[in-house]
Chains A and B, each alone.
Chain A
Amino acid sequence: EAGVVQSPRYKIIEKKQPVAFWCNPISGHNTLYWYLQNLGQGPELLIRYENEEAVDDSQLPKDRFSAERLKGVDSTLKIQPAELGDSAVYLCASSPWTGSEAFFGQGTRLTVV
């Protein structure tokens, strides 16, 4: 069974530029999470989807971050414009239902210069 797939693995952009990350969750998993992880820290939730509905986006900086999960499968996280402080690893995870064991993708390491 394929795991959670994220792309790209690495991204370097200049500040004020836009960037997008893509996630394909495990087939059949209704819940999808986007987490941000800084070096030496635990993952911090940005947004959680139940199918195509964003049910928890309270930690998402909505002035520059946006996300979508059309058709309740793949998801895209976008930052526009990126700031230096956005440099981090962006992790996508999915689970069969909310609160069950989450399976993580390899993450996208973003560097903003």
Chain B
Amino acid sequence: GQNIDQPTEMTATEGAIVQINCTYQTSGFNGLFWYQQHAGEAPTFLSYNVLDGLEEKGRFSSFLSRSKGYSYLLLKELQMKDSASYLCAVRDSASGAGSYQLTFGKGTKLSVIP
């Protein structure tokens, strides 16, 4: 099974940097995804990590430490439109060879204030 933890809410100022943490406990870990979800909309893919280290994509970066069961999403130069929920999702091996399941955390609601 999986146990994925994220902070429930965070608030940050426009133009600042914010780090959203995610810890997980799972067997057969095979990757971690971050999704963004604006209120009333579908989750959209932000980033994917399967190896340790930092993946940078524009203003967004994601870090993974498999030994610590830890990831974070870093948002730089925050904009008002970044106000959304950020979902951490872990992929791990389910029953059957080559079969994986994707399990989501409860999400972190980020509010960006002027």
Task: List residues of A whose CB falls within 8 A of some B CB.
Answer: 4, 33, 35, 40-45, 48, 50, 55-56, 91, 98-99, 101-107
Residues of chain A within 8 A (CB-CB) of B44 are 104
Query: Measured between alpha carbons, how far is A48 from B42 in the docked complex, in Å?
Result: 18
A87 to chain B, nearest CB (A): 15
Pick out which of these stretches binds chain A: B12-20, B64-72, B104-112.
Answer: B104-112
CB within 8 Å for A42 and B107 given contacts A55-B99, A98-B98, A104-B42: yes
Query: Measured between alpha carbons, how far is A105 from B37 in the docked complex, in Å?
Result: 12
Which residues in chain B, 9-44, are within 8 Å of chain A measured between CB atoms?
Answer: 30-31, 33, 41-44
In the complex, 16 of the A-B residue pairs with CB atoms within 8 angstroms, ordered by the A residue number, are A35-B104, A42-B87, A42-B105, A42-B106, A42-B107, A43-B43, A45-B102, A56-B101, A91-B42, A98-B98, A98-B99, A99-B31, A99-B100, A101-B48, A104-B43, A106-B42
Main secondary structure of the interface of B (DSSP, over half): strand
Which residues in chain B, 57-109, are within 8 Å of chain A measured between CB atoms?
Answer: 87, 89, 91, 94, 96, 98-107, 109
Query: Measured between alpha carbons, how far is A103 from B102 in the docked complex, in Å?
Result: 12
Q: Which residue of A lies closest to B91 (CB)?
A: A99
Among A33, A40, A91, A105, contact of B102 (Cβ-Cβ < 8 Å): A33
Query: Measured between alpha carbons, how far is A99 from B99 in the docked complex, in Å?
Result: 8
Q: Which residue of B lies closest to A102 (CB)?
A: B102
Query: Measured between alpha carbons, how far is A28 from B41 in the docked complex, in Å?
Result: 24
Query: Measured between alpha carbons, how far is A40 from B104 in the docked complex, in Å?
Result: 13
Among A43, A44, A98, A103, contact of B100 (Cβ-Cβ < 8 Å): A98
Among A45, A103, A107, contact of B45 (Cβ-Cβ < 8 Å): A103
Residues of chain A within 8 A (CB-CB) of B105 are 42
Query: Measured between alpha carbons, how far is A62 from B42 in the docked complex, in Å?
Result: 26
Q: Would B104 and A107 count as touching, CB distance under 8 A?
A: no
A64 to chain B, nearest CB (A): 23
Query: Measured between alpha carbons, how far is A33 from B30 in the docked complex, in Å?
Result: 18
